[in-house]
Structure 1
Amino acid sequence: MRPASFEYHKAADIEDAVRLLAEFGDEGRPIAGGQSLVPMMNLRLARPGHLVDINALALDEIEFDGGVMRVGALVRHERYAGDPRIAEHFPALLDAVHWIGHPTIRRHGSIGGSLSHADPTAELPAAAVLYDATMIVRSLEGERRIAAADFFESAYVTALQPGDLLVAVEFPVPPANSTGSFMEIGERRGDFAIASVGAAIEFEAGVITKAAIVCCGADLVAIRAPDIEAFLIGKPLDAPPAKEAGAMFAAEVEPSSDHVAGAEYKTALIGELTQRAVEAACARALERK
């Protein structure tokens, strides 16, 4: 199929982009790599009247400053996946990006595009929630900051309003005594996930001192598991209760059946992936001791 007709505009800078988006309102959409938007337009699931090309904007840097990693919205998946600082500080994020689509998608797709698209099975929204990221949004009214947990409101729905532009995402840099992992299962490599689970831990003297667990595929947005996070604190790295944590998460979620998998299978899968993610994170912690 072909997309419905639209007008194309190339923004010169951030101010120009937000001006155009404000002018077009609900009819305007920013476009960078187009890896999510263009297929939806071709299927006529999305019909913007105006596309604002933001590729010329200065939003393609990865900066570490004051305990925060700021990733510009136009940084491509392939680029931050190859940054050694990501591997050092955000191993679960690095794991997650390797599950994103296929090489062409990772080469052209941007972090801002994926986050703004808010696919309920996408890896980056889950990683943003796992690491307590903050979305930096610009509009004609100025800049505002939105916590990842508040940014994703439902499937393909975010806190972005007409005229808004996601310009960056900020991740608090975890301490040196931290690590994590991200596990996923799909029908085939590169397909949308059936379910995925990420784990991030801090550790000291051979035990877990802080934990974060996130799952996507069980709800319309990525969800955290605070009771399981609390349960893992104080547990030994060399014998973590990963199976018990998986059983707890499986007991909490209520996924819906779809054309790919039934609810019962998804529930079991989330339990298994939780166990694997916790075990992998603890194994990495032991390697770093």
Structure 2
Amino acid sequence: MRPATFEYHRATSLEHALQLLGEFGEEARPIAGGQSLVPMMNFRLARPGHLVDINRLPLNAIEIVGSMLRIGALTRHGAYFDHPLIARHFPAFLDAVHYIGHPTIRRNGSIGGSISHADPTAELPAVAVLHDADIVVRSAAEERRIKASEFFVSAYVTALEPGEMVVAVEFPIPPAASAGSFVEMSERSGDFATASVGIVLEHEGGRIAKAAMVCSGAGLVPIRAPDVESHLLNRALNDPHAEEAGRIFAASIDPVDDHIASAAYRRSLIAELTRRAIETACSRALGRS
């Protein structure tokens, strides 16, 4: 199919892009790689009257700003793989990006596009929720920061207002004594996830001092696991009771049946992925992998 008729605009600066988005309001969408938006337009699931091309904007830096790792919205997925700041501080993030799509998607897709698209099975929204990231959004009038846990409202629905666009994602830098892991299962490599689970933990004296867990594929937004996080506190890194944690997480979710997997299968899969994620993170904390 072909998309509905639209007008194309090439933004020459961030201010120009925001002015165009503000002028056209709900009829406008920014576009960079177009890896999600263009297919939706072709199927007429999205019908923007105006596309604002933001590819020329300088929004592709990965840098430390204060206590945060700031990633510009136009940073392409391929840039994460060999970036030393991500490798040093964010092992769960680095794990997750290896599951992102296929080479074309990695080459053209951007973090801002993935976050704004809010696919409930996507890796980067889950990573943002896992790390309690701030989504930095701009309009012509103001800049605001939205916690990832509040940004994702439902499947493909975010807290963005008309005239706003994501300009960066900011991740709090974990303490040195931390580790993480992200695991995913899909029908084929690069396909949408059937389910994924990520963990970040802080440790002291061979025990877990703090933990954060998330899963995607079980609901309309990435789901945190406060019961599992509490269960892991003060557990020994060499015996974190990971299998029990998986059962707790699986019991707390209510996935739906779809054409990919039954609810029962997803629940059992999340239990197993939880076990694997915890054991991998603990092994890394102990310096074994």
User: Shorter-chain TM-score: which interval?
Assistant: over 0.9
8 A Cα contact 2:180 2:200, kept in partner: yes
Secondary structure (helix, strand or coil) at the match of 2:34 reads: coil
Number of residue pairs aligned between Structure 1 and Structure 2: 289
Query: Within 5 Å, which residues of 2 pair with 1:58-207?
Result: 58-207=58-207
Q: Which amino acid aligns with 1:169?
A: V
Secondary structure (helix, strand or coil) at the match of 2:107 reads: helix
- Please give the alpha-carbon distance, in whole angstroms, between the structure 2 residues aligned to 1:156 and 1:81: 26
Q: Deviations over 1:136-171 (max 9, x none)?
A: 110022101100000000000000011001100100
- Please give the alpha-carbon distance, in whole angstroms, between the structure 2 residues aligned to 1:50 and 1:122: 26
Unaligned runs of 5+ in 1: none
What is the match of residue 237 of structure 2? 237
What is the match of residue 278 of structure 1? 278
Q: Deviations over 1:72-124 (max 9, x none)?
A: 00001100222021011001011111101011101110000000000000000
Secondary structure (helix, strand or coil) at the match of 1:81 reads: coil
Give the TM-score taking structure 2 as reference length: 0.98
Percent of aligned pairs with the same amino acid: 65
The structural deviation recorded for 1:288 is 6.9
Question: Which moved further from structure 2: 89-98 or 279-288?
Answer: 279-288
Is 1:54 the counterpart of 2:54 in the alignment?
Answer: yes
Query: Alignment RMSD, CA only?
Result: 1.0
- Please give the alpha-carbon distance, in whole angstroms, between the structure 2 residues aligned to 1:106 and 1:198: 20
What is the match of residue 36 of structure 2? 36
Is 1:266 the counterpart of 2:266 in the alignment?
Answer: yes
What is the match of residue 11 of structure 1? 11
8 A Cα contact 2:227 2:249, kept in partner: no
Q: Which amino acid aligns with 2:37?
A: L
Q: Which amino acid aligns with 1:40?
A: M
Misfit runs of 4+, over 4 Å: none
The structural deviation recorded for 1:65 is 2.3
The structural deviation recorded for 1:218 is 1.0
Q: Which amino acid aligns with 2:207?
A: V
The structural deviation recorded for 1:282 is 0.4
The structural deviation recorded for 1:200 is 0.5
Q: Deviations over 1:176-214 (max 9, x none)?
A: 111100010011000000100001011111111110000
Q: Which amino acid aligns with 2:122?
A: A
- Please give the alpha-carbon distance, in whole angstroms, between the structure 2 residues aligned to 1:112 and 1:184: 21
What is the match of residue 225 of structure 1? 225
- Please give the alpha-carbon distance, in whole angstroms, between the structure 1 residues aligned to 2:251 and 2:60: 41
Secondary structure (helix, strand or coil) at the match of 2:145 reads: strand
Secondary structure (helix, strand or coil) at the match of 1:201 reads: strand
- Please give the alpha-carbon distance, in whole angstroms, between the structure 1 residues aligned to 2:201 and 2:35: 32
- Please give the alpha-carbon distance, in whole angstroms, between the structure 1 residues aligned to 2:283 and 2:43: 44
Q: Which amino acid aligns with 2:38?
A: V
The structural deviation recorded for 1:32 is 0.4
Question: Which moved further from structure 2: 259-268 or 81-90?
Answer: 81-90
8 A Cα contact 2:126 2:216, kept in partner: yes
8 A Cα contact 2:152 2:158, kept in partner: yes
- Please give the alpha-carbon distance, in whole angstroms, between the structure 1 residues aligned to 2:3 and 2:254: 36
Secondary structure (helix, strand or coil) at the match of 2:175 reads: coil
Give the TM-score taking structure 1 as reference length: 0.98
- Please give the alpha-carbon distance, in whole angstroms, between the structure 1 residues aligned to 2:15 and 2:51: 16
